[in-house]
Amino acid sequence: MSVQLHDKTFDLFLTSNEIQTRISEVCEYLNRDYADKRPVFIAILNGSFMFAADVMRRFNGACEIQFVRLASYVGTSSTGEVQTILGLSADLKGRHVVILEDIIDSGETMVSFLPLLAQKEVASCQICSFLVKPDALKHPIDVAYRCFDIPNEFVVGYGLDYDGLGRNLPDVYHLH
């Protein structure tokens, strides 16, 4: 199965079933590790909105969520520059934070974002990423919770876009 977005064709890579099954497994670890910690999930917009919704509804304990918007991507290659667009709102001092990311590619985004969190004097901070591209990592980022490690290729679907399109797809596709 394939989809056409703008000028490019993408082939099916991860099915909705595979995605949902794997998220359930990862959320068992989150439930175990954060049961009594009232974590604050920080979802990095736009790409992580679907993942964040699926993680939130599987977390059984008390929890909160905040949304942050950063930018580092134009088209299909990283610009390497990260700007905060929507900042952190509530007081995070002493809180256990779990960052929810759609995908960790070069790691630039997390390298710029983590110091902002450290300034807030959080009690702990872990990263939970839907996808990780280990071969693209330029920084030693510790991704404690990860659903899928994938090859270094451009993917869309399940919240991830190609110039605005494809976020609504329940499956993940890679370049043909």
How many other C-beta atoms lie within 10 A of the C-beta of residue 85? Answer: 10
Distance in angstroms (rounded) separating the CA atoms of residues 62 and 36: 8
Q: Which residue has the tokens 């404690």?
A: 144
Q: Where are the alpha helices (DSSP H) in 97-154?
A: 108-119
- In whole angstroms, the minimum distance from the beta carbon of 93 to ligand 5GP comes to 26
Distance in angstroms (rounded) separating the CA atoms of residues 49 and 134: 22
User: Taking CB under 6 A as the rule, does residue 103 contact ligand 5GP?
Assistant: yes
Distance in angstroms (rounded) separating the CA atoms of residues 153 and 133: 8
User: Taking CB under 6 A as the rule, does residue 154 contact ligand 5GP?
Assistant: yes
Contact partner at residue 72 from ligand 5GP, Mg ion, none, CB < 5 to 8 Å by partner kind: ligand 5GP
Q: Which of residues 59-88 bind ligand 5GP (CB under 6 A)?
A: 72-73, 78
Contact range with ligand 5GP by CB under 6 A, out of 25-33, 58-66, 105-113, 117-125: 105-113
Instruction: Name residue 146's beta-bridge partners.
Output: 129
Contact partner at residue 129 from ligand 5GP, Mg ion, none, CB < 5 to 8 Å by partner kind: none
Give the footprint of ligand 5GP on this chain (CB under 6 A). Answer: 44, 47, 72-73, 78, 101-109, 154-156, 160-162
- Tell me the catalytic residues: 105
